Structure 1
Amino acid sequence: MSTILLIEQLLNGLQSGLMLFLMAAGLTLVFGVMGLINLAHGSLYMVGAFACAGVAAATGSFWLGLAASIAAAAAAGAIVEVAVIRRLYARDHLDQVLATFALILIFSEGTRWLYGSFPLYLNVPPSLSGSVTLPGGIQYSLFRLAIIGAGLAVAVGLFLLIGKTRIGVQVRAGEADREMIAALGVDIRRLYTLVFALGAALAGMAGALVGTIQSVQVGMGEPVLILAFVVIVIGGIGSIKGALVGALLVGLTDTMGRVLLPSIFGLFMETSAATSVGAALASMAIYILMALVLIVKPGGLFGARA
């Protein structure tokens, strides 16, 4: 494998990891602060993708579509939290799983009713189309570089929000002792709605950005949701730093595994067999990584609790 191809795949893994971070950051906040298992988080990712596709098709502007994806996912998240999720905080995790799984079905069928069963496609904005030449003569997609930049910017913004603002102090305090901050006069219901809407907005943004690379279709959120749960287990529940590190590890492991493993097995196996075995092991790699992390640190890399 050439050095240029290896660097390109590393960048693809970085891009994939940062998109997973947008999903996992909201999920880990909700899980860490509220103690809620939200299986419907992937549906909010889908809502953002479809909102972007619909508005971009109607206006011809990807940027208006991106804004619509964030707004639509945040609004959907806030409505779901007030109407459904708020009634689940005191219930056990089985009730939360069943209720949020029902939300997946509702979102999927509602989206199918609005948009149909056929996939939609988002065009890369003209200002970000084409490729750029990186040091070493590497040609790489300008849009994928923009996704990497956006992911890093969101990560920095979240770290500043959680670590440097009053809302961030309330979120961290709510994770540690929600009864105490409620007793101190903090409107815990409003805080929960805000956290849930923020997580939904990040998921919607990820859906819009990934929708330009893949197709936008009903059910697109469920595979990403599984990876997001793997990320927060690796990074540690409730930790934004853990979500970032875990997402990068998962993104790089998945991408590089799919590229390197078939080549490695090809050294001593037939090409068809090497491709088959390598692809199978590559799909298992992130779960093997998760198992190894849990063996060493059962609470995740940056988890405060097991």
Structure 2
Amino acid sequence: MSTILIIEQVLNGLQSGVMLFLMAAGLTLIFGVMGLINLAHGSLYMVGAFAAAAVAGVTGSFLLALLAALAAAAAAGVLVETLVIRRLYAADHLDQVLATFALILIFSEGTRLIFGSFPLYLDIPSWLSGPVTLPGGIQYPLYRLALIGAGLAVALALWVLIERTRIGIQIRAGENDREMIAALGVDISKLYTLVFALGAALAGLAGALVGAIQSVQVGMGEPVLILAFVTIVIGGIGSIKGAFVGAILVGLTQTLGSVFLPVLFRLFLEPATAMSLGASLANMAVYILMSLVLIFRPAGLMGARA
């Protein structure tokens, strides 16, 4: 097995991880501040992808497509929070699950009504297409490197927002004692709307960025949502740092497992059996990782201990 292949797959895992972080960060913010289980978060990922594909198809501009994804997902988030979610904060978690599951169906059928059932395609811009030569002579797609850079830049900006700004102080205070910050004069409803819109915008951005390397289709957000939940459980619910660490671990585990486990089993088993068993274990790898983390650190890697 060549060193070049290993490095390429590690980079693929990092790219997958930083995109997953954009989903998980919004999800953990919403749950940490509002205590809300939002199953419709994957639908906002889909909204961003479809908005980007539609705008890119009309204008031919990838940057305008990204702005459209951010705006559309944030607007959808504000609309959902104002009309539906705001009535669920005091509700039981089961009510939240049922209501947000209904939103998944509404978004899916609404998107199918507007765009049809066939997938859309978002082209990689010419200035980000083609490979780039890395040290050691490794050829790697420039767009995937750009995704890693964009994800890291967003992670840094989000950390600055949460840790170094006044609104970040309010968000962190809202996680710990929402009644107290309301008593101190903070408009808690506006804060909740802002947090929900921010989480929705991050999900929409992730959908738009990933939409250029896969098809944009109805239901594309649900598999990513499941991995985002796994990510925040591993990292610690309510922790942005935990979401980042968990996303990188999940991305690397999923990518490296799908490539190298079948190769490993071929040393001991027949090729067909090795491929089948390796693929099955690769799909299970992130859940095994989550189980191991929960055994030794029930609150997650960076979650607050009781």
Asked if these proteins are the same fold (TM beyond 0.5), I'd say yes
Hey, what does 2:26 align to over in structure 1?
26
* Structure 1: distance between partners of 2:299 and 2:118: 41
**Superposed displacement of residue 85, structure 1:** 0.3
* Structure 2: distance between partners of 1:148 and 1:271: 34
Hey, what does 1:131 align to over in structure 2?
131
Provide the secondary structure at the position in 2 that maps to 1:132.
Answer: strand
* Structure 1: distance between partners of 2:153 and 2:304: 25
**Superposed displacement of residue 236, structure 1:** 0.4
Provide the secondary structure at the position in 1 that maps to 2:298.
Answer: coil
Hey, what does 2:188 align to over in structure 1?
188
Hey, what does 1:271 align to over in structure 2?
271
Hey, what does 2:158 align to over in structure 1?
158
* Structure 2: distance between partners of 1:103 and 1:288: 30
Hey, what does 2:147 align to over in structure 1?
147
One-letter amino acid of the structure 2 residue matched with residue 194 of structure 1:
L
Hey, what does 1:61 align to over in structure 2?
61
- Structure 2 residue 233 is matched with structure 1 residue 233: yes
**Superposed displacement of residue 220, structure 1:** 0.3
Hey, what does 2:283 align to over in structure 1?
283
* Structure 1: distance between partners of 2:186 and 2:305: 24
One-letter amino acid of the structure 1 residue matched with residue 20 of structure 2:
L
- Structure 2 residue 107 is matched with structure 1 residue 107: yes
* Structure 1: distance between partners of 2:199 and 2:268: 46
**Superposed displacement of residue 103, structure 1:** 0.2
**Superposed displacement of residue 244, structure 1:** 0.1
Hey, what does 2:11 align to over in structure 1?
11
**1:58-101 deviation per Cα after TM superposition (whole angstroms, max 9, x unaligned):** 11111111110000000000110011000000001000000000
Hey, what does 2:218 align to over in structure 1?
218
* Structure 1: distance between partners of 2:236 and 2:82: 27
* Structure 2: distance between partners of 1:98 and 1:135: 51
* Structure 1: distance between partners of 2:303 and 2:95: 25
Structure 1 stretches lacking a partner, 5+ long: none
* Structure 1: distance between partners of 2:62 and 2:107: 23
**1:128-180 deviation per Cα after TM superposition (whole angstroms, max 9, x unaligned):** 00010000000000000000000000000011000000000000000000000
One-letter amino acid of the structure 2 residue matched with residue 158 of structure 1:
L
**Superposed displacement of residue 304, structure 1:** 1.6
Q: TM-score, normalised on structure 2?
A: 0.99
* Structure 1: distance between partners of 2:110 and 2:260: 40
- Structure 2 residue 73 is matched with structure 1 residue 81: no
Hey, what does 1:41 align to over in structure 2?
41
Hey, what does 1:93 align to over in structure 2?
93
* Structure 2: distance between partners of 1:59 and 1:261: 43
Task: Using the aligned pairs only, state the percent identity.
Answer: 78
Provide the secondary structure at the position in 2 that maps to 1:173.
Answer: helix
**1:274-300 deviation per Cα after TM superposition (whole angstroms, max 9, x unaligned):** 111000000000000000000000010
Q: How does 1:250-265 map to 2 (within 5 A)?
A: 250-265=250-265
* Structure 2: distance between partners of 1:225 and 1:180: 32
One-letter amino acid of the structure 2 residue matched with residue 138 of structure 1:
I
One-letter amino acid of the structure 2 residue matched with residue 136 of structure 1:
G
* Structure 2: distance between partners of 1:99 and 1:49: 23
**Superposed displacement of residue 262, structure 1:** 0.4
* Structure 1: distance between partners of 2:262 and 2:218: 31
Aligned length: 306
Q: TM-score, normalised on structure 1?
A: 0.99
Hey, what does 1:167 align to over in structure 2?
167
One-letter amino acid of the structure 1 residue matched with residue 84 of structure 2:
V
One-letter amino acid of the structure 1 residue matched with residue 296 of structure 2:
V
**Superposed displacement of residue 305, structure 1:** 4.9
**Superposed displacement of residue 214, structure 1:** 0.7
Provide the secondary structure at the position in 2 that maps to 1:133.
Answer: strand
* Structure 2: distance between partners of 1:214 and 1:227: 17
* Structure 2: distance between partners of 1:305 and 1:141: 41
Between 1:57-66 and 1:140-149, the stretch displaced more is 57-66
